Structure 1
Amino acid sequence: MTRLSGKVALVTGAGRGIGRAVALRLAEDGATVAVNFRSSAADAEHLVTELEERGGQAVAIRADVTDLAETKRLVEQAVETYGRLDILVSNAGIEHFAPLGEITPEDFDRVFAVNTKGQLFAAQQAARHLRPGGRIVLTSSVSATRSVFHHTLYAASKAAVNSMVVNLAAELGQRGITINAIAPGGTATDMAATNAVHYRHPLLDVPLPEWEKMHCALGRLARPEEIAAVTAFLVSDDACYITGRTIEADGGFF
């Protein structure tokens, strides 16, 4: 497919999981991809090699999106490398589960620094370089609008993302740029392998696979490439009249 031919995309948190799948899909659709990572250098370099072996162009750029100076450098390096920026997919994020009485100020700062602050300033810095037709996709979660036991801090950090895209849409729309968010449900990544059990209410004594069938219309976790497919739609011309929206890709979570 070539619907993103000539476009340059920056994907944050692209070394693993959903971010990796997004980078692969955007490259498959013709985009040149800047692969951001913070600590998973080997994964990011392996992804770049894979993209190049498939005939694409890619570069790995280390940056911590919780640091504005590093985010600014990340975006500028992508632009300097390829001469332009057309797409930002802000995917970097961290999980958190804890009851109210155990949430600390340090937890709050750490979770919001990545999931909220990091995404806001990634959008800010990317928007400085985007032209009319530019696309920004942030990453929310179905937890932002669902009640999940002990998930308050994480859910709040993602609910803020939903509000950001609603409010930034009008501002960026004046420049012909769209901004949306994608809210995945449970997705088969290493993060899910670690945290999926926490989504089950502690009083519900049901094996995790059965719980997934009970709470998802499709009865299974998403594959990362399925989330990537929705992201690829949002950054394409097919989604040119969609902005300020959070798209839930959750398999019918209830």
Structure 2
Amino acid sequence: MPAGVDRVAVVTGGSGGIGRAVCERLAQDGTAVVVAYSGSADRAEDLVGRLTAAGARALAARADVAEPDQVAGVLDAAERAFGGVDVVVHTAGVMRLAPLVELDLEELDALHRTNVRGTFVVSQLAARRVRPGGAIVNFSSSVVRLSLPTYSAYAASKGAVDAITRILALELRGRDVTVNAVAPGPTATPLFLDGKPEEVIERMAEQSPLERLGRPEDVAEVVSFLAGPARWVNGQVLYVNGGLA
């Protein structure tokens, strides 16, 4: 079932970075969009204003992705406003970088809470709500395969996302709902850029055969494919990194 005016998407982490680009692309596809955010209400409402001004249907809703009641509230809002949920895109995540021997375990717990528990909660509730012909799209990372120093905790959390995604796809047999994950490489977002020296960013950009960082729009294009026309792609982790890995 292709994306279109009758489809409704919930995008977690939708107020910034890749999530914002995903919301914009799905709106361009004709999909009603719920911008789910946890931090900045101003950014979320600004995005909703821009989308609606362009003729799209959109609303903002707040949720901590690790809290089932709050995630259920976002899905409820989507159903009340637009009649149902066809697509759930889970972009929300956090990154903590440090050598394994130095990482504070409280930082590890915080990472696990958002990236693993959050993915589990969103996937669980999405699986209960998404209508036939719909799609669940989680977010992994290319660092699962790259095995970069200081990324052990983050890569481990995204490895868990891969497992959740593949198994849920099998468990939804007979539902006509696809479950996939997108694994971006280095992408020019605050999550990637913040705290990195310019020389590190330039070196990582040069590693791709395309010799640049990814753009949020590059990733959103793949999400659009998985959210709409890609009905025969299921249980997969798609690496979106310009050929880096």
2:216 counterpart of 1:251: no
Please give the TM-score of this superposition, normalised by the length of structure 1.
0.92
Instruction: Give the SS at the match of 2:122.
Output: helix
TM-superposition CA deviations, 1:195-240 (whole Å, max 9, x none): 544xxxxxxxx93354134411111111111110000001112x10
Following superposition, the deviation at residue 24 of structure 1 comes to: 0.3
Aligned partner (choices 214, 223, 243) of residue 231 of structure 1: 223
Match in the other structure for 1:12? 12
In structure 1, the residue matched to 2:212 is 220
1: CA distance, partners of 2:205 / 2:25: 28
Residues 186, 196 of structure 1: 8 Å contact kept: no
Distance, in Å, in 1 between the alignment partners of 2:72 and 2:66 is 11
Work out the CA distance in 2 between the residues paired with 1:165 and 1:208.
31
Gaps of 5+ in 2: none
Q: Could you state the TM-score of these two structures normalised by the residue count of structure 2?
A: 0.95
Per the alignment, residue 44 of structure 2 pairs with 44
Give the Cα separation in 2 of the matches to 1:82 and 1:164: 28
* CA distance in structure 2 between the aligned counterparts of 1:38 and 1:217, rounded to whole angstroms: 35
State how 1:90-129 maps to structure 2 within 5 Å: 90-129=90-129
2:205·2:213 contact (CA, 8 Å) conserved in 1? no
Cα distance in 2 for partners of 1:47, 1:30 equals 16
Shift in CA distance, 195/135, structure 1 to aligned 2, threshold 3 Å: farther
- Give the corresponding residue for 1:241: 232
Count of paired positions: 244
Could you tell me which residue of structure 2 aligns to residue 203 of structure 1? none
Gaps of 5+ in 1: 198-205
Residue aligned with 1:131, SS: coil
By how many angstroms is 1:34 displaced?
A: 0.4
Q: State the partner residue of 1:57.
A: 57
SS of 2:172 mapped into structure 1: helix
* CA deviation after TM superposition for structure 1 residue 241, in Å: 0.7
After TM superposition, the runs of 4+ consecutive aligned structure 1 residues lying more than 6 A away are none
Cα 1:133–1:101 shift into 2, 3 Å: same
